[in-house]
Every structure is written in structure tokens, then in C-alpha cells.
Structure 1
Amino acid sequence: MAEFLSLRDAVARYVEDGATLAMEGFTHLIPFAAGHEVIRQRRRDLTLIRMTPDLLYDQMIGAGCAKRLIFSWGGNPGVGSLHRLRDAVEKGYPHPIEIFEHSHAAMACAFEAGAAGLPLAVLRGYVGSDLPKVNPQIRFIECPFSGERLAAVPSVRPDVGIVHAQRADRQGNVLVEGIVGVQKEVVLAAERSIVTVEEIVDDLAAGPNACVIPGWAIDAIVVAERGAYPSYAHGYYPRDNAFYKAWDAIARDRQAFDTWLQDHVFSQGDDA
């Protein structure tokens, strides 16, 4: 059953060095505040999992948190490359990182399989793709009923899943509105889960195109206002497009990145 904690306490309790960590939110509701707390607590040797890793994982990789990345497409949306990720892959800075690249469809299926407690996901995919040549997590199996050749990937069952959402009620149920990605699947697939929210309310007032994650599936709920910034939270604040553009120059230069990290992450601790 969900427990209400501070961000500092939730990360300290559930995110350990060497953990497998999935942090999701598609286009909006990206859990930046939680990721910054992981950086502040100097977690190391993490396996990071995410569909379309963007600035958040670029920051965590640049801060030295990750040893492995399981993902589908990595970039700064509408801008270009993730330069801290590229520096780690191409030059081993701040240390080498192992990568396992999948298609979007495979990642979505892997999250669904993890949520269902299954060991693998099966899909029609990777036909004509070179990814199976470089990713040993992609295998092919024969359907026992039709004989069809299908792709198989390991399910995503992380040690910890972290998502951001608009609000939680006082019983610990969480509302996700707007573009709904795989937040529900992350929480259900993870051994432990942390959900950051904009606010606590008496009534979730769920509308169309919304998902309610039940409190029994969540370990910790944290109030983190603007916890998705610089991405957006539907109904609360817009995306800071200027920051995404500015990130390209910040992330290209190691010293500029280290300065940004000190000024905007390490000096902004959670005092809740």
C-alpha cells in the first residue's frame, strides 16, 4: 500500500547502487525531479530502462549513475543527439556504458509482459532490421501453433519503477491524464515503485483519456510540484522548449555540463 514520503526518503529507501531502474513518462510527465534526486544521492552502477530516453537520462548518464542502458531511440526531441550519452558510449566518459537498443514496439511489449509477470514478450517485429545482430536480447522463436517465426525479448521487470503523475488521492491512488504511456505497466512490473505527483487531492476527478494506478500497486508517493519540468504536465504547466534547445550546448561540453549539474541539481536538494 502506498506510503507518503519525501523525495529524499523515497529514493534513499528504494533506489540502491546496482539497481535496475525504469523511469517513464511519454512526452510529458517525465520524472525529472526524481532523477535529479538519484543524481544527488550519487547512485552508481544503475541499469537504466526507458522508451525514448531524452534529457533526463542524458543527465543521469553524464553524472555517472549508469552502467547500462536498455532503450528505444535516444535523443533530444526536435534538437539532436544526447551528448552525455554519446560521450559515454564513444569515449567512455565519465565511464563506459553498455547499451541494448530495441524498437519502440518491443519496449512497449516488454513492459506489458513485465506487468503481467511473464519472462518474455513476443511480437512480430525486427524483420529486415540489423538490431538483432548487435543486441543479444533479441531472439527469434517459432510459434508452437502456427510455426510462424516471431521475435522475443526479455520482459522489463525492474527493481524500481519511477513515474510522475498529476495527482494522488489520500488513499494513495494516482491519476495519469493526457498522453498515457507505459506508466501503469512500469508500476505493475517493478518490484518497488515510486510515484511523484503535482498534488494530493480528495477526489481524483478522472476524465477521458486517463488512467488510475491503484494505491496497492505503489510503494511510495511523493509530492513534487513541477516534478516533470522541463517536460510538461498536462493541465499544470507547459514544456520548456527553450531549455531543450539550450541543453544541446550545455551537454556538448563536459565543463559546461558539470557546472550546470552543480548549479541546478546538487544545489537544489529536497528539503521536504
Structure 2
Amino acid sequence: MADILELSEAIATHVQDGDFVALEGFTHLIPFAAGHELIRQRRRDLTLVRMTPDLIYDQLIGAGCASKLIYSWGGNPGVGSLHRLRDAVEQQWPRPLQTQEHSHADLANAYVAGAAGLPFAVLRAYVGSDLPKVNPRIRFIECPFTGESLAAVPALRPDVAVIHAQKADRRGNVLLWGILGVQKEAALAARRVIVTVEEIVDDLQAWPNACILPAWTVSAVCHVPGGAAPSYAHGYYPRDNRFYNAWDAIARDRDRFAQWIQRHVLETEDFAGFRRALDRSSREAA
């Protein structure tokens, strides 16, 4: 049975400096609230993994939480670059950032291998690609049955996986729906799992073949309404496209970024406080 905890307690209990952490979500259900709590608690030297790091990873990197990033694509969706990521890679600000790039199929299979307890994943990939030239973790093996050359990559086994979902029941069973990425696979591959949810209910009322994480796979469930904003939670609220556009200018300048993090994250008590601070900033700018 998963523990029902405040998000601050879940992060304090389950995420330590130097941990290997996955915050997964794809277009929606992105765990912004949990990412902000990592910043608020000043976690350091994290190895971050995500198939599609976007704004929350830009914030974590710019706040100095990460020393390494494993990824398969990174950017501000529909807008452009992640400027705090670029600054860390190109100028080592606020600290140097190691990067390890893979393909989407590679990382998805690596999560599956981790969830299955296997040491590596095997896939048909990288024919004509230059990624194996810059990532020594991508290797090739010969199929013992056909002689075919196949790509092999190490399994992903994060210390902690963090996801956002729509619902959990009071025992800690979690239900999520809509566009799914690799949340389930990341959770099953990780040693500890934190799930923030829109609501905690008596009965999930799940339909057949729904995506459910049973309570025994989850370490902590945290009730954080709106915890995926400014991304969206299918069935609850839309994506805040204005924020994604505004982030480009905020993140381009180190001082402006640092002031934004200080005011909106470090000086707020929790994610509800962040959203109130963001609303105040929007009214002041109007």
C-alpha cells in the first residue's frame, strides 16, 4: 500500500542528492509540481532522465539541480530551444552538465528492460545514424539465431520515478489516461515511485484495459490539484500555451531566470503558492 503524503514530505523522504531521477510525462501529465519541489528543497547532483525534457527540466537544470541529463529530445514544444539547458552545456552555467543522447525507441526500450529486470534492451535501430559515434552506451550485438546486427543499450533503472496522474484511490492505486508516454514503464523500472494526482477517490471506476499502477508499485501518492500545469491533464484543464511562449524570454537571460525561480519557486511554500505567484505576475504585467 502506497503512503499518502504531502509532496514536500514525499520528496524529502524519497529523493536524495546524487539520485538518478526520471520525471516522465508526454505532452500532458508532466510533473511540474514535483519538479518545483526538487528545486525548492535544493536537490543537487541529480542524474535526470526523460525522453522529452522540456520546461520543467530547463528549470531544474537552470536551478543547479542536475549534473547529468539522459534524453532523446529536448526543447520548448512549438517554441524553440531550452536556453538553460543550452547554457549549461555550452557555458557550464550554473554548473557543467553531462549529456547522453539516445533515440526515442532506444529510451522506451531501455525503460521496458529496466521494468523487466533485464540488464539491457535490444532493438533494430541506428542504421545510418551518427548517435553511436557520440554515445558509447549504444553498442551492437549479433543475434545468436539470425546473425543480424542489433543495437543494445543499458536498461534504465532510476532510483526514483516521478509522474503525474488523474486519480488515485485511498490505497494508492493510480489511474491515468489520455496520451501516455512511458510513465508506466518508468514507474515499474524505478526503485521508488512518487505519483502526484489531481484527486484521491474512494473508487477509481476504471474501465477495462485502463492504465493502472497498482499500489504495490508506488511509494507515495500526493494530492496536488493542477500539478501538471502549465502542461495539461486530460479531462481536467488545458495546456497553458501562453506560458510556454513566455518562457522563451524568461529563460534566455540568466538574471531574469534567477529572479523568476526565486520569486515563483524558492519563495513559495508549495505548488499552490507557485500558481498564486504566477497569477500575481500575470496581473502586474497586464
Q: Fold-level match, TM-score > 0.5?
A: yes
**Which residue of structure 2 lines up, in the alignment, with residue 224 of structure 1?**
224
Is residue 149 of structure 1 aligned with residue 149 of structure 2? yes
**Which residue of structure 1 lines up, in the alignment, with residue 33 of structure 2?**
33
Distance 2:144 2:208 in 1: 40
1:36-55 correspondence runs (5 A): 36-55=36-55
1:88-107 correspondence runs (5 A): 88-107=88-107
Q: How many residues align?
A: 272
* Unmatched segments (≥5 aa) in structure 2: 273-286
- Contact kept, 8 Å, 1:177 with 1:209, in 2: the verdict is no
After superposition, the CA RMSD in angstroms is 1.2
Amino acid at match of 1:125: A
Bigger helix share: 2
Residues 137/179 of structure 1: CA separation in 2 closer, same or farther (3 Å cut): same
The CA deviation string for residues 154-206 of structure 1, in whole angstroms up to 9 with x for no partner, is 11100001000001011210001101111111111101110000110111122
Amino acid at match of 1:148: E
* Unmatched segments (≥5 aa) in structure 1: none
1:112-123 correspondence runs (5 A): 112-123=112-123
Distance 2:208 2:55 in 1: 29
Distance 1:218 1:195 in 2: 7
Q: What is the Cα deviation at residue 35 of structure 1?
A: 0.4
Q: What is the Cα deviation at residue 136 of structure 1?
A: 1.1
- Contact kept, 8 Å, 1:178 with 1:210, in 2: the verdict is no
Amino acid at match of 2:20: T
- Contact kept, 8 Å, 1:180 with 1:209, in 2: the verdict is no
Stretches (4+) displaced over 3 A: 207-210
1:1-272 correspondence runs (5 A): 1-207=1-207, 210-270=210-270
Q: Aligned to 1:145, what secondary structure does the other structure show?
A: coil
The CA deviation string for residues 198-257 of structure 1, in whole angstroms up to 9 with x for no partner, is 110111122477301100000000001100000000000000000000000000000110
Range with greater deviation from structure 2 (80-89 or 177-186):
177-186
- Contact kept, 8 Å, 1:121 with 1:154, in 2: the verdict is yes
Q: Aligned to 1:56, what secondary structure does the other structure show?
A: helix
- Contact kept, 8 Å, 2:71 with 2:100, in 1: the verdict is yes
- Contact kept, 8 Å, 1:137 with 1:154, in 2: the verdict is yes
- Contact kept, 8 Å, 2:40 with 2:265, in 1: the verdict is yes
Distance 1:212 1:121 in 2: 24
Normalising by structure 2, we get a TM-score of 0.93
**Which residue of structure 1 lines up, in the alignment, with residue 280 of structure 2?**
none
